[in-house]
Structure 1
């Protein structure tokens, strides 16, 4: 049987792995029904328990399968988990104590396994988790009192060898459930950690991204500058301002203004990607293009940007931009570089706009 068939079968039986507690609970129900049947058969064949206890174990098999069906296929996960917890702590464990050796026998192992199961699988069920933990921990107290008062009620193994066999079987079953719960806990932890990491990345992206254009915002500009400066790169910063943008908003409305900003951002992004640069929106109609090259090449690439943007079919005609380009100097501060580019951009504005100054 290939892996795909196994995965589909497990999904059909247990549900989605994205819900690790439900997935594991359904596994516990199915495995539990098998274990009860196995224990009933072993107890009968080797005389390890009383006949009422054996019959109870057999009767629990179809009941637990019914709980699995209602939980897996009728979406009663929470209520069926609670019923299963009460069934085990209030019926199965007490009957096993009385019908399978009392405090000399394996019921303590079963109590421990049930306690671990409830602690892990009922993590999100609040009150019912505490109730189940209390029942699993304190149930032996009244049972010991009953055993001391009425010792003849307790089934005792006829030989030491049978007692050892029963203890070994119970230890193996409890150990198996412990491993299953720890694996489930690890999956849940990993799932929560992955979700937290994804949320952290999403929040960081939102904090560094302009919501209108999708470009990086000014929060990451200094990061890029520090990275390139530390790498000893030659690079230039172009400060770009769309011409007469206030008039565009006033005449055609802010919705149209947003269209112009987005179209320009797309053109800017394509140039940045083409030449291994970074496109950033400072705010309003101001943008930055970082390019890993000198002034001459940067001017050439910016002129290519102007030509590309001029070819964009805007509803209300051509929109131009003015730009100033400054090349990073040794030991120059971030603010000084931005100020030089800003001064050059305003020089381009005074020169009549629609031009690039170096």
Structure 2
């Protein structure tokens, strides 16, 4: 039951009602016991016992049926309009913490549309009760100071414990919701970094990643890759197979990049591998990619597919846009030279 208070799949109103019902039932039972201990069995004690039974029944009904609006109104109306004012009229200032507890329940458990109106009405109502108490003080039975002390101390402790319990649960629910929202935001942020078709990083994140490397003054190479004769592959084997080639190649370069950098889709059949290292290391990585890509194509269509690439090594102070342009120029030279090659100078 306790864990359900933090189950985000359960409507927040139902979870808040569970908090109120539990706090109300426990607090009233304690108050009822204190009344018997201090004042014995009298009309006020009997009224407190009746309130406890009504709160318990309303709480059970709301939790059992999931229809919490009416039970919530019954519990709030009972404690704010009847029970707490009754105790104040009977015992005076010693029960004043209960009046504050009633106002707290309006703030904590009423929805935003009604909160302000109900709080204002309760303030006026409590003011009338306070005035009535002092207007009728001569006609109200008096008790000895020890009784008032016991009542005041118990009212303070019960009210403080109820507010602590309610606020602790509410704060934890808030924190759990924040964790869920943060997790969702992180997941959405990660999704926004990825290319929808291939699942590797997109060009937007590629630029962000390169900017981070530049700010950190890290040594890296950017290899721009274009699949050779890709339009012919589409024409010969069909678009679905062409999509398969794109996805498979993306997986190959993503595995090749590993922890040494990232792989991203640059656009269409173009990709970029960012390698944290020098040109030689990047060339070795592309050599392995070439072998895996050829092995894939031979197993699928008994012919070797190739790619061309241009490698640009980062120099201090060079802008990202210049890195892209230089890599594109080297890729273009690789194409002019006959494809299936890597140009780095």
TM-score (norm 2): 0.86
Give the C-alpha shift of residue 250 in structure 1.
4.7
1:171 and 2:156 matched: yes
Measured in 1, the distance between the counterparts of 2:70 and 2:245 equals: 57
1:82 and 2:73 matched: yes
The change in CA–CA distance for 1:56 and 1:224 in structure 2 (over 3 A counts) is same
1:190 and 2:175 matched: yes
Retained in 2: the 8 A contact 1:82–1:128? no
User: 1:93 aligned to 72, 84, 88, which one?
Assistant: 84
The change in CA–CA distance for 1:96 and 1:338 in structure 2 (over 3 A counts) is same
1:121 and 2:109 matched: yes
Retained in 1: the 8 A contact 2:34–2:154? no
Retained in 2: the 8 A contact 1:40–1:58? yes
Matches within 5 A, 1:150-229: 151=137, 154=140, 156-229=141-214
Matches within 5 A, 1:1-358: 10-11=2-3, 15-18=5-8, 22-23=14-15, 25-47=17-39, 51-98=42-89, 100-102=90-92, 104-106=93-95, 108-122=96-110, 125-144=111-130, 146-147=132-133, 151=137, 154=140, 156-250=141-235, 252-273=237-258, 276-312=260-296, 313-314=299-300, 318-358=304-344
Number of matched residues? 340
Give the C-alpha shift of residue 291 in structure 1.
1.1
SS in 1 for 2:260: coil
Aligned CA RMSD, in angstroms, stands at 2.9
Q: Structure 2, unaligned stretches of length 5 or more? A: none
Q: Structure 1, unaligned stretches of length 5 or more? A: 1-8
Give the C-alpha shift of residue 178 in structure 1.
2.5
Retained in 2: the 8 A contact 1:86–1:132? no
Measured in 2, the distance between the counterparts of 1:172 and 1:183 equals: 16
Retained in 1: the 8 A contact 2:6–2:176? no
Retained in 2: the 8 A contact 1:325–1:344? yes
TM-score (norm 1): 0.83
